[in-house]
Structure 1
Amino acid sequence: MKLLLVGGHLTPALAFIDYLQEKAPEVSLVFLGRLYARKQSKQPAHEKTEVEKRGVLFVPFDSGKLIAAHPVFQLVHLALLVITVPLAMVKLIQLKPSVVLCFGGYLGVPISLAAWILRIPIVTHEQTRGLGLANRLISFFAKKTALSHKESLKFVSKSKAVVTGNPVRRSLFTPNPTKPSWITKNIDRPILYITGGSQGSEIINSTIVQVLETLTKQWVVIHQCGAASTQRNYKKELLSAVQMLSKKSQDRYNVREWVADQELAWIYQQTQIVISRSGANTVEELSRFAIPSILIPLPFAHQQEQLKNAEAMKRIGGAVIIDQKSLNPKTLLESIDHVQKRHDQMSRKLQASVGKLDACDKLFALIQDVQE
């Protein structure tokens, strides 16, 4: 079997690649992806690095986006999507995949339409509790739509929908992972991990700058701040701010643009509290590691999907939510104090909530079914 992967949700795609390389090494893999997360600012995407690191062929591909902008711009992007379909067909004819597996995102739309025209079976996976705009379109062409949550069943035809769960990177569960060399040698405080996602978050980063002195008195801070672009260099700005602090505080602050899987495995297994956006994969991972968290949902995520993810973790008792409009030094420090005092109780509730780690098994079975 030759499997072509494409889509905007990189984390479950990487989790599934890792699974196949361990459990089904006979499956040939190729990944179609973008080179830039933000094309205008030339902020690099992590697809190429992460995919090629795994020895998988990466093929650059781009198209128009599905965005809810001004109608004129929407028409332009739809036109770009349509124009991209013949290019997608050429790629598929060259690569000859047995099955196309999509993980949502605008790139999956022209690839799926091209695969449907060429009669290549398609499976698409939805990680959120709703159904993204891209996957709403892709599901028309797909033979099966794999869902992470039962509440998504109402969005998909019964004949196509299968609840598989959301693939989680198995590499994160490596026992006794090596401590990253860039993290301070002297861990003399509990660890607080901060992440704004692969692209970083301007408001989270700017709020952290204002509370660095307080945080580094009480915590060893590990901060994944996002890659530099032509407009901003978060890491440089944060390092400049920390230079104003004492030597001890500087030693307790560790900033990185991007954190690799092996590094994240150590961080998840050592950290006490996480401050984060609430993407589906992040919330899934935090729940499985039973890490009490402070979640700041992205307010303009499609169908408020990040808010729904955060609310689900809050209902379990494992998180507090700060609305982005309410995020400031005071609310952040109060939330950290709140979670710290209830840490053990919140962690136990998360431990009791997680199910089996078998999403990859179910997804692979689905792919084998559509190929036959």
Structure 2
Amino acid sequence: MRILFSGGGSGGHLMPLYSLQRAMKQSDCLYYLPPNDFDRDFANTYKLPHVFFSQTKFYFGSLFLVCKKIRGAFLEVAAEYKRNPWSLVVSTGGYAAVPVCMHAVVNRIPLYLVEPNSVAGKVNSLFAPFAKKVYTHFPYTKKLVWARTLNYGNPLREEIQRLEEPGEALLAFGASLGAQSINLLMSRLVKNELSCPVIWITGAKEYSAYSHLGRPGVTILPFSKEIDSFYRQAKLVIGRAGAGTVAEIQELGIPSILIPYPHHKDRQQFHNAGYLVENGSSIIKTEDELPESIDEILEILAPNSVVYASLLRQAKALPPKNAAQRIAKDIMQVP
């Protein structure tokens, strides 16, 4: 059975697909990707069998031009299918998935969608009624109408496993390029006397502005491919509330302070963070609240903190989802 994986443009689209492929132990597969630098690097790093669209973005230009681009991409998918057909399609959405999902629907190829966020993206919302199943991480995922949903979780790398006990460090990071507001918060926080080690990932763009604040007990990095190791050292995570981050800290059972990205129209990250906040394992802060949050964070990090003990207890109470294995088993059982 050959599987086509579709998505791209960010790690939030590609990593769940890669994790799912590994869980399926599926070597006979193909990734259909947009031809941008991130996707090229990802495909090369993880040695993915892939094909690139000739078009970069389908939604720029007049309506006529957009339709023309999508039609061209659809024909590319059809030609590739004719050369070497696939049995089913798994997609995480995003603009790159439009022609692939269209082709699956038109040709009645089984389509499975993975929606990691609490608010479904436009492409997944559009194709959800035509999918055999839609796998969600959040039990209340919005904008999925007439969809056969299963709340199995966001597929994660097999290295992300529930920790028996948390580490001792504060781990702080933004998105792949960093987050200015989190870096500013950390620059103020590390000037205080801290009761725990700090691992602070600034993002490559802002590393030079903050690297001088490093000292014994305060490790500052531009980026890292060893995030799994840092998770194992963490007692508390400060970060954005992207779907991947929320799923990982839930799976690991680590308390968190989440600062949602404020500029999504649908407030997607606020809804993502809200799930952990409602369950008592996380505290949410807006960017405007950060300057007044230093003392609160220091109190949470202090030895024998009652607030931290409560966050940790609730983080451990949230069960791991083991999503990649559950979704892989469900898909592979269906003819």
Q: Conserved in 2, the CA contact under 8 Å of 1:288 and 1:351?
A: no
Partner of 1:310: 273
> Residue by residue, what CA displacement relative to the aligned partner does 1:219-240 show, whole Å, maximum 9, x if unpaired?
433233335xxxxx2233333x
| Match for residue 347 of structure 1 among 312, 316, 333 | 312
Q: 148-157 or 304-313: which moved more? A: 148-157
* Equivalent pair of 1:7/1:103 in contact (CA under 8 Å): yes
Judged with a 3 Å threshold, the aligned counterparts in structure 2 of structure 1 residues 251 and 74 are, in CA distance, closer, same or farther, namely: farther
Distance 1:335 1:66 in 2: 44
Match of 1:235 among 201, 204, 207: 207
Distance 1:284 1:20 in 2: 20
Q: Structure 1 324/224 Cα, relative in aligned 2: closer, same or farther at 3 Å?
A: same
Structure 1 length as normaliser, TM-score? 0.75
* Uncovered stretches (5+) of structure 1, i.e. residues with no partner: 37-43, 177-188, 228-232
Using the TM superposition, give the Cα deviation of residue 75 of structure 1 relative to its aligned residue in structure 2, in angstroms.
7.6
What's the counterpart of residue 89 of structure 1?
A: 78
Deviation per CA, 1:94-130: give whole Å up to 9, x if none.
4422211101211111211123334432211111223
Residues 289, 335 of structure 1: CA spacing in aligned structure 2 closer, same or farther, 3 A cutoff?
A: farther
Whether 2:137 is the aligned partner of 1:167: answer no
User: Secondary structure, in 3 states, of the residue corresponding to 1:5?
Assistant: strand
Separation in structure 1 between the aligned mates of residue 180 and residue 97 of structure 2, nearest angstrom: 28
Does residue 20 of the first structure (1) align with residue 9 of the second (2)? no
Deviation at 1:141, TM superposition (A): 4.0
User: How many pairs were matched up?
Assistant: 324
Moved more, 12-21 or 303-312: 12-21
Letter in 2 for 1:147: T
Question: Quick one: distance in 1 between partners of 2:261 and 2:123?
Answer: 19
Give the alignment partner of residue 115 of structure 1, picking from 101, 104, 109.
104
Q: Secondary structure of 2:160's match?
A: helix
Tell me by how many angstroms 1:142 deviates.
Answer: 2.7
Aligned-residue offset at 1:315: 1.6
Identical positions, percent: 24
Deviations 1:240-270 (A, max 9, x none): xx1xx4xx7266223132x33xx22221111
Distance 1:351 1:104, change over 3 A: same
Q: In structure 1, what is the Cα distance between the partners aligned to 2:324 and 2:265? A: 25
Give the superposition deviation at 1:18: 2.5
Residues 34 and 52 of structure 2 are in contact (CA less than 8 Å); yes or no, is this contact kept in structure 1?
yes
Q: Which runs of 5+ in 2 are unaligned?
A: none
User: In the alignment, does 2:314 pair up with 1:322?
Assistant: no
Aligned mate of 1:201, from 165, 170, 179: 179
Q: Do 1:296 and 1:323's aligned partners in 2 also have CA atoms closer than 8 Å?
A: yes
For 1:222 and 1:73, the matched residues in 2 are separated by 47
Q: For the residues of structure 1 that align with 2:145 and 2:269, how far apart are their CA atoms?
A: 20
TM-score by length of 2: 0.83
**What is the rounded CA distance, in whole Å, between the counterparts of 2:163 and 2:188 in structure 1?**
36
Structure 1 residues 318, 297: CA separation in 2 closer, same or farther (over 3 Å shift)? same
Question: Secondary structure, in 3 states, of the residue corresponding to 2:81?
Answer: helix
Deviation at 1:326, TM superposition (A): 2.8
Cα deviation, 1:28-50, whole Å, max 9, x if unaligned, reads 122223454xxxxxxx42x4444
The answer on whether the counterparts of 2:256 and 2:282 sit within 8 Å (CA) in structure 1 is yes
Would the aligned equivalents of 2:113 and 2:128 in 1 still touch at CA under 8 Å?
A: yes
Give the SS at the match of 1:172.
coil
Tell me the CA shift for residue 133 of structure 1: 0.8
